[in-house]
Structure 1
Amino acid sequence: MGRPTVASVVNRVAQRARGLMVLYRAGLAPVPRLDEGIRSLIATRRYGPLAGSVRIAARRDPQAVGLVDETGPLTFTQLDLRSNALARAWSARGVRSGDTVAVLCRDHRNLVLTLLAAGKLGAPVLLLNTGFAKPQLTDVAVRERVRVLVHDDEFTDLLGDITGVDRYRAWQEPGRPDPQPDTPTLEDVIAGSDDHPLPAPPKPGGLVLLTSGTTGTPKGAPRPAISPLDSAQFLDRIPLRVGEATFLGAPLFHATGLSQFILSCALGCTVVVRRKFDPEETLRGVAEHRCTALVLVPTMLERVLDLDPEVRARYDTSSLRILFLAGSALSPEVGNRATEVFGDVVHNLYGSTEVAVATVATPEDWRRAPGTVGRPPVGCRVELYDDEGRRITAPDVTGRVFVGSGLAFTGYTDGRSRDTIDGLIATGDVGHRDADGLLFIDGRDDEMIVSGGENVYPVEVENVLVEHPEVREAAVIGVPDERFGQRLKAFVVLRPGSVLDAEAVREHVRGTLARYKVPRDVEFLDLLPRNATGKVLRHTLA
């Protein structure tokens, strides 16, 4: 590595200055209380961004509500004290800094308390996906050397092959038989422990997120220690503010939900969660708690929009300033419907487990170019490269997407990493920019279909399909063809009462796209196979 150039140093200083301004605008920069700023920096450095933020929020306003779940509210002070008790109990049972704590839970208070307690012990938390199969969970637990396993009762059978770990139950189903009466519950452990603060661990434990696992055993992607300035990457283009309320529909085990939960805690916001997503309950929660932000994956948004208009009208959602969407592609049709229902609040984030945030489309971006994922926020860099590694600067030219971010991972836990160019990490996607510089994602680089020598990305065809008023959702894959190498096959889910047939589907696509992008095969399904964050399981379709 050579010495940094004057231009690179100036750019770095400018980025940091801009980041500070973003934090100040959101209410995070402690001006003029520099003593509070120092305390915040010390807490997050010692305990990590989540446990440190909760401790600071409890100090700032001991009675402020930090979390609301089905069992009621908890203040930041209660979260801090109860996680102290859990951390002390685990410490007494021999859990040490560096021991991995795995958690397989839906979104509720005991999942949050597990994250906080592990942070206070310096124990890495492995967030398991509630949609994974039994063999995937077993393989991951062995590979990551899990020491403690926290889970909801409903997942007991899925975890039966994991041995040699300390188990704790996080959520018990009322009125159902007890599946593991000898396994302690977190509530009992907390109730029997001292809630005084613990000494800081040698270093924060951090978090390990998992890739979607759609093609085998999921890979672990550890999140590094996060600088307060890195949070400006979200706040630069998503106007979250101190002391508001966020309804978190996206699951906490996924990067989308987790990042917004941590950021909301840092802002001292009340976070509202539910164990299982329900579209009407989501609107009820937004109205009841006057939430200013709603965090969803696109399939959840579709379910909200599909509610009867009379049902939606029962709930006052006028407090919403931010409809935050990430985790899978947001089609122009769904984003436009959301804008009609909720107003100019759509914020469409593009990122990945590995790079975190890459770009964000603001409501203004979306109005100008529906379907865009916007521009990089402060501290992020996004470039497109062709297959020979040459940077693409011309508009409307598709290339591989590479991202640089202070929130990016440093490699998978098994030692592997992703392709890099000029210090930027490949996302695995391909995309293009329009003449205004707005980014569009055209699809996965391994999903491109070559039919008769022509390149087709499924998302373009899928977006056209869902624009038909009788189509609820659609997915397109390539299937073998003796003449063309591959041909396009569409899987279509129709809305109730539709009489659309295969030829009508093809005719709809033919009216918008080139002939070679029209699916030769059309199969109708009751629903598409998806994982817990809404991504279509294309290998299942194939």
Structure 2
Amino acid sequence: MLVDKMTETVRSIEVMWKAGLIPFPRVDEGLFALVAMRKIGPFAAAAQVAARRDPHAVGLVDERGPLTFRQLDLQSNALARAWAGRGIKPGTVIAALCRDHRGLVLSMSAAGKLGARLLLMNTGFGKTQLADVAKREKATALVHDQEFTELLSDIPADVERYLAWVDTEDALDEIPVLDELIASTDDRPMPYPARRGGFVLLTSGTTGTPKGAPREHTSLLSSAQFLDRIPLRFGECTYLGAPIFHGTGVSQFILSYALSCTVVMRRRFDPEATLKGIEEHRCTALVLVPTMLQRIVDLGPEVISRYDTSSLRIIFVAGSALSPDLGNRATEAFGDVIHNLYGSTEVAVATVATPEDWRKAPGTVGRAPVGCKVVLYDGEGRRITEPGVTGRVFVGSGLSFHGYTDGRHKELLDGLLSTGDMGHFDEDGLLFIDGRDDEMIVSGGENVFPIEVENLLVERPDVLEAAVIGVPDEEFGQRLKAFVVRADGSDLDADTVRAYVKSNLARYKVPRDVEFLDQLPRNATGKVLRNKLD
């Protein structure tokens, strides 16, 4: 066991050095990074380290223009001092309800420098969810964009509020604006806080109130879990399409900053503006959730070809299932650049499919990188080793969380954390996710996972989206119901859908009911809200 751990550590260091994360031979800079990470957390430390390595390099580009790493570091110093003067201290919980822009980035860094705990709120939440989460997580300060003001009426009056982005001139005068606080405050470095604050990610909340998954400590070595199979490199440029409040966005934001990469972001995702940004800034990596990739690919070859995207080496996709059809269409449009990550808010990284993996087996989520372990178990807790046999997915990772903020935890088995998914390995050891264990449909004694039927349906050119659920049935216990979004101009009907599935899959996988929708209900990160389908 000790030898395995040492081998893993050596391999992790090798991966990080190759990417440029370890500033060899500047051992002093490496030590500074380690200390900063432990004292002020990954947000503040990444920008601070980048500012030391190249203060004039552009760290962030948003709709207001560029900021260098030094400007980001100094402005977050000023914001931290201003907040300290207003009573924010180590242990204070600061909730952030912001789109992706400099105000959120500076808030993240300033919170770390104060030892405050940062709660990243989902911009797609409703009024009740926001109030419930803020109360449960004991938030005493809230940073938000002006556009969300009307959603905050249920937030307790004693929660201090700050505006991170102002859209119009009629902002409420009594709410301080971050720009004004920064401009009026000393930007000297803050002393390290007595204790580190950490941050809290929220689960998607597709089945109820989102749970808080805290990240109190992040080891620098854990960065290798991404870099082992995703070739991000020092000093390049990342276009961040996925929102920072989501695990996909925040992980790649931190990693890009740690590598002194410029990060390009917009407050709202726009597929064609994304292509334009890639061309303008010569981005080498694009970070998305699958629905964003879908919107880009759906622009079609004529629009995509207007922009020079030849600089792209990586399209990093995570957050929900990437269908074989969409991954193949994206590969056709952009080349062998798809990197499909499988993980969750709780386990962080589990596996990554490289472009080579995808070419070999479209739909795969790949293999576990260094520092991660994936094991399948049957319903009795026995380990599954045979290819093609579906089991429950459990993951071991240095980035796994240690329990929700309300004291609950995910199931543990042999020290590994349940993802709540079912999956299988193929003959080459590549992992495939068959579906959520709570989404499995038992119809007439046969087990059906919706994803197989959904992937088949979206392969049709006249289908844009599809979701399949189980509904009660007196004879079979459950029967399948499909919700289909037709392509523009399509006259696809229910009989054709059923006949198509019947000709490609087993009879018991054919949806008895078919309903056509204008769009599927999704949350802000693109996950289908199955509880809204009936």
Q: Give the structure-1-normalised TM-score.
A: 0.97
2:290 to 270, 285, 298: 298
1:286 to 278, 286, 298: 278
Conserved? CA contact 1:136–1:216, under 8 Å: no
2:118 to 125, 133, 142: 125
Question: Greater CA deviation, 261-270 or 41-50?
Answer: 41-50
1:68 to 44, 61, 66: 61
- The corresponding residue for 1:422 is 414
SS of alignment partner, residue 359 of structure 1: strand
Conserved? CA contact 1:224–1:407, under 8 Å: no
- The corresponding residue for 1:5 is none
- The corresponding residue for 2:349 is 357
Ranges in structure 2 where 5+ consecutive residues have no aligned partner: none
- The corresponding residue for 2:400 is 408
How far apart are the structure 1 equivalents of 2:173 and 2:453? Answer: 52
SS of alignment partner, residue 489 of structure 1: strand
- The corresponding residue for 2:84 is 91
Residue identity opposite 2:112 in structure 1:
G
Residue identity opposite 1:307 in structure 2:
L
Residue identity opposite 1:52 in structure 2:
A
CA shift, 1:326, in A, is 0.2
- The corresponding residue for 1:397 is 389
Conserved? CA contact 2:197–2:216, under 8 Å: no
How far apart are the structure 2 equivalents of 1:429 and 1:189? Answer: 45
- 1:173 lines up with 2:167 in the alignment: yes
Residue identity opposite 1:28 in structure 2:
L
Residue identity opposite 1:165 in structure 2:
V
Q: Give the structure-2-normalised TM-score.
A: 0.99
- The corresponding residue for 1:80 is 73
Conserved? CA contact 2:450–2:468, under 8 Å: yes
SS of alignment partner, residue 233 of structure 1: helix
Residue identity opposite 1:422 in structure 2:
D
1:452 to 418, 436, 444: 444
- 1:229 lines up with 2:221 in the alignment: yes
Conserved? CA contact 2:100–2:244, under 8 Å: yes
Question: Greater CA deviation, 166-175 or 489-498?
Answer: 166-175
1:49 to 25, 31, 42: 42
SS of alignment partner, residue 400 of structure 1: strand
CA shift, 1:98, in A, is 0.6
- 1:252 lines up with 2:244 in the alignment: yes
How far apart are the structure 2 equivalents of 1:168 and 1:273? Answer: 21
Conserved? CA contact 2:301–2:333, under 8 Å: no
Conserved? CA contact 2:366–2:432, under 8 Å: yes
Identity over the aligned pairs, expressed in percent? Answer: 70
> What's the Cα RMSD here?
0.8
CA shift, 1:224, in A, is 3.0
Conserved? CA contact 2:94–2:116, under 8 Å: yes
2:520 to 528, 533, 536: 528
How far apart are the structure 2 equivalents of 1:309 and 1:392? Answer: 43
How far apart are the structure 1 equivalents of 2:300 and 2:224? Answer: 38
Deviating beyond 4 angstroms after TM superposition, the runs of 4 or more aligned structure 1 residues are none
- The corresponding residue for 1:468 is 460
Q: Per-residue CA shift, 1:446-482, capped at 9, x if unaligned?
A: 0000001000000000000001111011000001111
CA shift, 1:334, in A, is 0.1
CA shift, 1:349, in A, is 0.1
Conserved? CA contact 1:471–1:494, under 8 Å: yes
How far apart are the structure 1 equivalents of 2:214 and 2:107? Answer: 17
Q: 1:370-381 residue pairs with structure 2 within 5 A?
A: 370-381=362-373
- The corresponding residue for 1:136 is 129
CA shift, 1:310, in A, is 2.1
- The corresponding residue for 2:23 is 30
Q: Per-residue CA shift, 1:59-97, capped at 9, x if unaligned?
A: 111100000000000000000000000000010111110
Q: Per-residue CA shift, 1:130-161, capped at 9, x if unaligned?
A: 11111111011111111110001111111111
Residue identity opposite 2:16 in structure 1:
L
Conserved? CA contact 1:386–1:399, under 8 Å: yes
Question: Greater CA deviation, 38-47 or 285-294?
Answer: 38-47
- 1:346 lines up with 2:338 in the alignment: yes
CA shift, 1:30, in A, is 2.3
Q: Per-residue CA shift, 1:162-190, capped at 9, x if unaligned?
A: 11211001111146x43x23211111111
- 1:19 lines up with 2:15 in the alignment: no
SS of alignment partner, residue 48 of structure 1: helix
